[in-house]
Structure 1
Amino acid sequence: MGSIIRKTAVVENKNFSAIENTATAGIKCIEASGIDPSRIGVLIYAGLYRDDNIMEPSVASLVQKKIQIGLDISASNLAGMTFSFDVINGANSVMSAISVADSILQNDHKQFVLIVAGDAHPSKSDHKEFPFEAVGAAMLLDWDTDSLRGFHAVSYLSDHTNAESSFSATGKLEEFGMEGRSHVRFESDPHLSESYLHLNAENINQYLQRQRPKAIDFILSSEPVRGFSQQLVTMIDFQHPADGGVALSPQSIDLHGHFGGDIHTAAPIAAFDVLIPELKDRKKTTLLFSTVGSGNASACALYCV
C-alpha cells in the first residue's frame, strides 16, 4: 500500500509569478484528473522562492484561493474543506511534502492531496540573475491498496561536515532597504555540482543497500547544472540488486534539455510529467526520485508505477 500519483501538470513561463504558475498548474492537474475538487482534503505548497518574498500568510493559502478549492469553512461543510500549508526544505521540498502527504493518506483513503511547487524571482520579473527557470508544477496524490504500487519511504541525508552550504540566498536590509520584498542575493560555491553529486550518490547508495530493489528503470533527479543526472547515474552502485535480480541500469531525464535550466523545487514533478507519456508499460516500471540542494541535503525514494 502507498501513495500513488494520480496526475501531474507543468506550466512553463506563463509569467514570472510563483503563485500564478503553481495555481495554473494545480488547476490543469485537477481538470486532467477528472476528480471532484471537493475531494482534495489537503493542498501543500512546496516552492521556495515566492512572490514578494512572502512569509505570511502561507503561499499555499494564496494558491488555494486562486484555484478555488475547499474555501467554504462553515461547520456544515467539514468534508468539503481543504487544509493548506507550506512545506519548505529547499530543493527537497517536494520529497518532504510527499512524506507528509503519505502520512495523511494512510489515515484517510477517501481524500486526495495536491502538491504544487515552483520558483520565481520575488520581483515577479524575468530577472537575469535569477538562477532558476520559472516553472509551476502540480502533483495529485491518491492512495492505493496494492502493495506493489506507490512511494516507498523517503530517505534523507545531510552534509554533516559543518561546512557552509554550497548555495544560499539572503536579503540584506541595509542594502535592499524598502525594496527588500523584490530582492534576493545568491551566493554559490564554485564546487557546488561536485558537492551535490557526492552527497546525492551517497544517500542513494545507502538507500539502495537497505531497499535492495529488483529493478530501477529511471532516475528522476534534480538538475542544478546540465548533465547532473547523467553524472549521478555513473556514481551509483547498481551492482547489488536483490537476490535473484540483475544489475540495474536506469535511464535519466534531461530536465535542462526540456526546460532550459534548473527548475529547482519543481524538478521531481516535472521529471515525472516528462517521462509518463513516453512509457510503454507503466505497470512494470520502477522509478527512483532524487533531489539535492542547499543545506547541503539530499532526499530520495523509490516509486512503483
Structure 2
Amino acid sequence: MGTRIDGAATAYGRHGALRLSDDAARTCLARGGHRAGDLDILINAGMYKDRNIAEPALASIIQDDLGANRGHPPRLGHHGTFSFDIQNGGCGVITAAQLVDTFVGPGTAQVGLIVAGDADPAPRTSRGFPFAPAGGAFVVSHTDDATGFTRFTQRTFPEHQALFEANVRWDPDAGFLGRGKNVLEIVEAPELAEACVEHAADVTTQLLGEADLRPRDIDLLITSQYPLRFPERLARRLGIPLTHLPQVAPELGTLHTAGPIAALEAAIESGRFASAGTTLFVTVGAGVTVAAALYRATDISSTR
C-alpha cells in the first residue's frame, strides 16, 4: 500500500497567494483525474499570504473555493474534507506530504491535495521580499501496490537561523497617508545558499544510506528552487548527474514553497517522473531546515 502522486500544477502571475493557490489546485485536480468532492484531506503549506492573514486557515478558504465537501457534518452517504495549514517554510511541501502519507498510505483516506503558494503580502511596503508570486498543488491517492513515498527525514540546524529572517513589525510611517502599517522585512545573508547545500547534502546522504541506496540509484532529483541554483549545486555535491534534474524555467528560480511542485510538474509533463524508478525529493528553508523524501514511481498514465 502507498501514496501515489497523480498530478501536479503551478500557477504564476501578478495575483495574491490565495488566487494562485486556487488556480493551481483546480488545474492539478483536472490533470490528476479527480474532482474536488473526492478530497479527504487538503493541506496548505504556503507561507506568505495575502495581507499577512493568519486566521482563518487558508486551507479552509481554498477548500471552500474549490467546492470540496463544504459544510459539516457531511451529507448522508458522503465524506468531508479535513483541511488545515502547516508552516515549515521552504520545506512545507515535504512536511505536508509526510502528513498526508500517514492518512492516504494505509487507506484511512483515499485522496489528498497539497497546496503551496506565496506572494508579497504588501508589495508597496514589504522590504527585501525575494520570491516570485506562484501557487502550486499536487494530488495523491491511495494505491494497493508498492508505489509511493518510502521514507522521510527532516533536520534543522539552528546555528544558521540568522541566515534568513522574516519579521513583521509596526512601522508608524508606512501605509496609506503615512499613518502606520505592519511591514514585512526579510533579511538574507550571503552565506545562506552554501549552508543550504552543505546541510542538504549531509541529510540526503544519511537518508540514502538508511535506505541502502547510493546517488547513482537516483533516477530523478526534485528540489527546492530557492536559493538560486540550489538544484544544480546540490546535484553536483551529491554526485547526481544534472541530467537527472527536471528542466524548470530559469525565471522560476525564485519560487518559495511552490518551488518543488514546479519541478515535479516539469518532471511529470516531460514523462521523466513516470519512467523514474526512484525519485529523491530535497527541500530547504530557513532554520536552516532540510526535509527530504524517497518515492517509488510507476507510470501515472497507466494508473488512471
TM-score grouping bracket, smaller chain normalisation:
0.7 to 0.9
Say which is worse superposed, 136-145 or 223-232, in terms of deviation.
223-232
**Residue of structure 1 in register with 2:302 after alignment:** none
Residues in 1 aligned to 2:273 and 2:29: alpha-carbon distance in whole angstroms:
24
Residues 153 and 254 of structure 1, relative CA distance in 2, 3 Å threshold: same
* Mapped partners of 1:9, 1:281: distance in 2: 14
- Aligned residue in 2 for 1:253: 246
Give the counterpart letter for 1:4 in structure 2.
Answer: R
Distance 1:128 1:273, change over 3 A: farther
Tell me the matched-pair count: 290
Moved more, 127-136 or 218-227: 127-136
- Whether 1:294 aligns to 2:291 is no
**Paired residue for 2:168?**
171
Question: Structure 1 stretch 137-146 or stretch 91-100: which is displaced more?
Answer: 137-146
Give, as a single letter, the amino acid of the residue that structure 1 aligns with 2:149: F
Deviations 1:155-211 (A, max 9, x none): 112115x3433111101125557421xx31001111111111111111101111111
Gaps of 5+ in 2: 298-304
Displacement, 1:249? Answer: 7.8
Secondary structure in 2 aligned to 1:212?
coil
- Residue 235 of structure 1 is aligned with which of 214, 234, 237? 237
Alpha carbons 2:157, 2:287 under 8 Å: kept:
yes
Q: Does 1:203 align with 2:203?
A: yes
Contact 1:51 1:124 in 2 (8 A): no
- Is the aligned partner of 1:223 residue 2:222? no
- Partners of 2:232 and 2:74 in 1: how far apart? 52
Q: Check the 8 A contact 1:288/1:301 in 2, yes or no.
A: yes
Number of the residue aligned with 2:11? 11
| 5+ long unaligned stretches in structure 1 | 239-247
For normalisation by structure 1, the TM-score amounts to 0.87
- Tell me how far apart the structure 2 counterparts of residues 218 and 36 of structure 1 sit (CA, whole Å): 29
How far did residue 68 of structure 1 move? 1.6
Cα pair 2:7 2:268 within 8 Å, conserved: no
| C-alpha spacing 1:284/1:75, structure 2 compared with 1 (3 Å) | closer
Alignment partners' CA distance in 2, 1:10 and 1:140: 12
CA 1:126–1:256: 2 relative to 1, 3 Å: farther
Which residue is equivalent to 2:141? 142
Output the CA distance in 1 between the equivalents of 2:272 and 2:161: 44
TM-score between both structures, scaled by the size of structure 2: 0.87
What is residue 277 of structure 1 aligned with on the other side?
Answer: 269
Between 136-145 and 221-230, the greater mean CA deviation after superposition: 221-230
In 2, Cα distance between the equivalents of 1:77 and 1:264? 40
SS of 2:281's partner is strand
Residues 244-284 of structure 1, C-alpha deviations (whole Å, 9 max, x = no match): xxxx8862235461x34311111121101011122268244
